[in-house]
Chain A
Amino acid sequence: GENVEQHPSTLSVQEGDSAVIKCTYSDSASNYFPWYKQELGKRPQLIIDIRSNVGEKKDQRIAVTLNKTAKHFSLHITETQPEDSAVYFCASPYIQGAQKLVFGQGTRLTINP
């Protein structure tokens, strides 16, 4: 199938705390897992991605972990700041036929000062 399930749909954390968003994919052939951030009224932009040959990738305060056996991957944001407030989307390619990126349903993250 081509489903990507993302949880939670909304997440509210105190500034300075950590936030974790999880996604599950169904296409076992998927090998690329990006995360996009969409600020209010703006376009989605890639913030981090991981390929299936590694289990974790970090970029300053954000990290992505991948469990290929369980077919899930997660976004971790540490030391959250107000500018982290946005909608976050995970995605995974559906390899059957013409490849396309299937997006999760999105998580609205709110950082409370």
Chain B
Amino acid sequence: DTGVSQDPRHKITKRGQNVTFRCDPISEHNRLYWYRQTLGQGPEFLTYFQNEAQLEKSRLLSDRFSAERPKGSFSTLEIQRTEQGDSAMYLCASSPKRGSWGWIEQYFGPGTRLTVT
């Protein structure tokens, strides 16, 4: 059973460039979450999908950010015109539905560390 995978693990980019990250959830987990973690802080929720539908976006997700999950499997997170403040670890998590309990467990991937210079 493979866990959540993310690619790339590290990305260094220059300010103003676009970047795209990929997340592959655990098979058959129909929910997928994106979080952002800056140094010394806890992760912050960005957005989540149920199958291919994006159900909620945080106010943290500015117009420069877009996320997709086109076939309800892998997801991509794109940041356009990167800024130094975008430097962070971007974490993906997937979650299975546990009957009447709903989605109670989130399994996190290794993260993509973005550095904007």
Partners in one complex: no
